[in-house]
Amino acid sequence: MRKSTIIIDKDYEIADVDSRLFGSFIEHLGRAVYGGIYQPENISSDESGFRQDVLELVKELQVSVVRYPGGNFVSNYFWEDGVGPINQRHPRLDLAWKTIEPNIFGLGEFVNWAKMAGADIMMAVNLGTRGVADACNLLEYCNFPSGTKYSDLRKAYGIEEPYGIKLWCLGNEMDGEWQLGRRTMEEYGRISAEAGKAMKLIDPSIELVSCGSSSKGMPTFPEWDAVTLEENYDYVDYLSLHQYYGNENNDSNDYLAKSDDMDDFIHTVVSVCDYVQAKKRSRKKMYLSFDEWNVWFHSKAEEENITNRHPWQMAPHLLEDHYTFEDALMVGLMLITLLNHADRVKIACLAQLVNVIAPIMAEDGGVWRQTIYYPFLHASLYGRGTVIKTVVNTPVHMTNSHGEVNDVVCSAVYLKEREELTIFVVNRNLSEDQELILDVRSFGKLEFLEKLVLISDSLKKENSLNNESIKPLKDFNVNMDKQKVKTVLKKASWNVIRLKKEAKEMRGKNSA
Ligand code: AHR
């Protein structure tokens, strides 16, 4: 059997994990809002029309922050359409997805929903077809207490207290040819600097995210990131990254190596940020917001069919990827990559949350968890602590486009208050199991809490409303021996190994 060892020394801390790493995204797109989080006619919905079965799963995932209202949608977003009495609102053409936006669910409804979900809001402004003034008006409506045009409008609509939204995106994917109101890097640098400057005058407590390249594959990457940051560096706090992966060539070996590409992407963006910081002689460090990441490829043909052949529907089935078991492994690998960069990546949004490339699916008859739900759940529950550097000794295997890659990929998170160590591990060798030795001697005596695994007899297995067969199992086949943990990682598996300081040791420490 192949063998891997992982050494984890508790003194080699990378960084504390920002809880906003477990964020997600709701866009006015397809059935994310209508038929997703909001569906008054559904049996599970409350008096506001919010589906309680969906909310239960969102809460189970402990989603920390939700980006809204787009995405591509935001680049022609007219927030005023979705505030005030619902019976006075009008539908509008959504040019991003060629659908009809009814404006029944708007800003205030989203704020109420996010409160119920226990999540903060990451709000985006339209820097595509609108600009600085509109961004200021929206911020004034949301965060200014009273006595001005837009704060008083909010109060007139019965919302006395400001929303106090702290996190704002300055547009979306402004480098993309598909983006309404796309800008050149010089144009975006200027408008984002001016919007940022003005917005921070209105509310200096907010944090701003500048649009980085919309993927590593953009021809203007990484120049876009450098040029725009040079212009807006003093006004923004984060640079965004977006990346989706897929198994378009049906080459699973190659597919699962793509998380190494995400790792490279983050390294390059960190270098760009540090280059601009040095060039500007600035004391300020720029952090990263990976505010769109996921697997997205299953639904591409259907998307083309709806947006181009059958446009102007309301809430059509768009971007409804049904995820396979191997997609769950990929999402796990991406989570591990994000955790290992916790020193610079402070915000990350799994795109998206419900129905649209989502971990949660809502149908008229109920909700169900996609395969990718589980790695996110595990990381969100057990990944909030301090990331510890791992030294990994593992065999490699050959891939078609990424050369030799490691079999075993992992991240370790220590929760100091609870003295719990969690190791997230993927064995991305698809044909062989792996004996794993975890060397955790620096932690003193640890006891085994549990090992959770996602395994499957087929990489292509999916879940559905009536069959959630891909779900975590407990693996008891773990031996603890003198601060070494021995276990077997099944071929193609997601593993969560949870250890805790031994109770005797903890008692000794407390009574000392
Ligand atoms: O998440 C789906 C879309 O992907 C978003 O609207 C856009 O920002 C990205 O291209």
Contacts of 479 (CB under 8 A, 6+ apart): 485, 486, 487
Q: How does DSSP assign 190-206, residue by residue? A: HHHHHHHHHHHHH-TT-
Cα–Cα dist 423/453, whole Å = 12
From the list 101, 173, 231, 320, the catalytic residue is 173
User: Which atom of ligand 1 lies closest to the CA of 173?
Assistant: 8
Identify whether residues 247 and 110 lie together within a single domain: yes
Residue 352 exposed, middle or buried by CB count within 10 Å (0-12, 13-18, 19+): buried
Contacts of 217 (CB under 8 A, 6+ apart): none
Whose C-alpha lies nearest to ligand 1, atom 7?
71
Q: What is the pLDDT of residue 508?
A: 53
Assigned domain for 275 exists: no
Cα–Cα dist 200/87, whole Å = 34
> Is 172's C-beta closer than 6 angstroms to any atom of ligand 1?
yes
Whose C-alpha lies nearest to ligand 1, atom 9?
71
Cα–Cα dist 31/3, whole Å = 45
Beta strands 386-393; 408-415: pairing state: antiparallel
Which residues does residue 363 pair with via DSSP β-bridges, in sequence order?
366
From the list 101, 194, 292, 320, the catalytic residue is 292
Low-confidence ranges of the chain (pLDDT < 50): 511-512
pTM: 0.97
> Is 292's C-beta closer than 6 angstroms to any atom of ligand 1?
yes
Residue 330 CA to ligand 1 centre (angstroms): 19
| Joined tokens for residue 302 | 């259907």
Identify whether residues 376 and 391 lie together within a single domain: no
Whose C-alpha lies nearest to ligand 1, atom 6?
71
Cα maximum dimension of the chain = 73
Q: Any idea which residue has 């960069």 for tokens?
A: 341
Q: What is the pLDDT of residue 443?
A: 93
Beta-strand runs (E) in 371-460: 386-393, 396-399, 403-406, 408-415, 420-427, 434-439, 446-454
In which domain, by residue range, is 50 found? 18-265+284-330+342-382
Assigned domain for 212 exists: yes
The per-residue pLDDT for range 136-170, each reduced to its tens digit, is 999 999 999 999 999 999 999 999 999 999 999 99
56 is catalytic: no
The per-residue pLDDT for range 384-424, each reduced to its tens digit, is 999 999 999 999 999 999 999 999 999 999 999 999 999 99
Assigned domain for 402 exists: yes
Identify whether residues 50 and 167 lie together within a single domain: yes
| Joined tokens for residue 201 | 């005058």
The CATH number that applies at residue 491 is: 2.60.40.1180
Q: Which amino acid is at 92?
A: R
> Is 240's C-beta closer than 6 angstroms to any atom of ligand 1?
no
Identify whether residues 155 and 66 lie together within a single domain: yes
Assigned domain for 228 exists: yes
Identify whether residues 485 and 376 lie together within a single domain: no
Assigned domain for 270 exists: no
Identify whether residues 375 and 410 lie together within a single domain: no
Cα–Cα dist 469/135, whole Å = 46
Identify whether residues 83 and 154 lie together within a single domain: yes
DSSP 226: H
Residue 98 CA to ligand 1 centre (angstroms): 14
User: Which atom of ligand 1 lies closest to the CA of 176?
Assistant: 10
> Is 294's C-beta closer than 6 angstroms to any atom of ligand 1?
no
| Joined tokens for residue 153 | 């409008």
Cα–Cα dist 254/425, whole Å = 18
In the chain, the number of structural domains is 2
Assigned domain for 274 exists: no
The CATH number that applies at residue 188 is: 3.20.20.80
Q: Which amino acid is at 427?
A: N
Helix (H) or strand (E) segment spanning residue 122: strand 120-125
C-alpha 125: how far from its chain's center?
Answer: 19
Helix (H) or strand (E) segment spanning residue 117: helix 107-117
> Is 326's C-beta closer than 6 angstroms to any atom of ligand 1?
no
> Is 351's C-beta closer than 6 angstroms to any atom of ligand 1?
yes
> Is 27's C-beta closer than 6 angstroms to any atom of ligand 1?
yes
Number of H-type helices and E-type strands within the chain = 12, 24
Using left for φ > 0, alpha for ψ between -120 and 50, and beta otherwise, residue 453 falls in beta
Identify whether residues 246 and 378 lie together within a single domain: yes
Q: Any idea which residue has 């992966």 for tokens?
A: 245
Angle between helices 373-382 and 52-61 (to 10 degrees): 50
Residue 15 in contact with residue 343, Cβ under 8 Å? yes
Identify whether residues 202 and 218 lie together within a single domain: yes
| Joined tokens for residue 328 | 């769950």
Kindly report the CA angle at 220 between 217 and 225, in degrees rounded to 5? 100
Among 31, 68, 72, which is best to mutate for testing ligand 1, by the most ligand atoms less than 8 A from CB?
72
Residue 494, φ and ψ in degrees, nearest 5: -105, 130
Whose C-alpha lies nearest to ligand 1, atom 8?
71
> Is 407's C-beta closer than 6 angstroms to any atom of ligand 1?
no
- Rg of the Cα trace of the chain? 23
Assigned domain for 337 exists: no
Cα–Cα distances (Å) from 121 to 46, 150, 298, 379, in that order, read 21, 20, 28, 20
173 is catalytic: yes
Assigned domain for 272 exists: no
Identify whether residues 227 and 302 lie together within a single domain: yes
Task: Count the residues in the chain.
Answer: 512
Residue 293 CA to ligand 1 centre (angstroms): 9
Residue 263 in contact with residue 320, Cβ under 8 Å? no
Identify whether residues 497 and 374 lie together within a single domain: no
Identify whether residues 105 and 77 lie together within a single domain: yes
Q: What is the pLDDT of residue 511?
A: 45
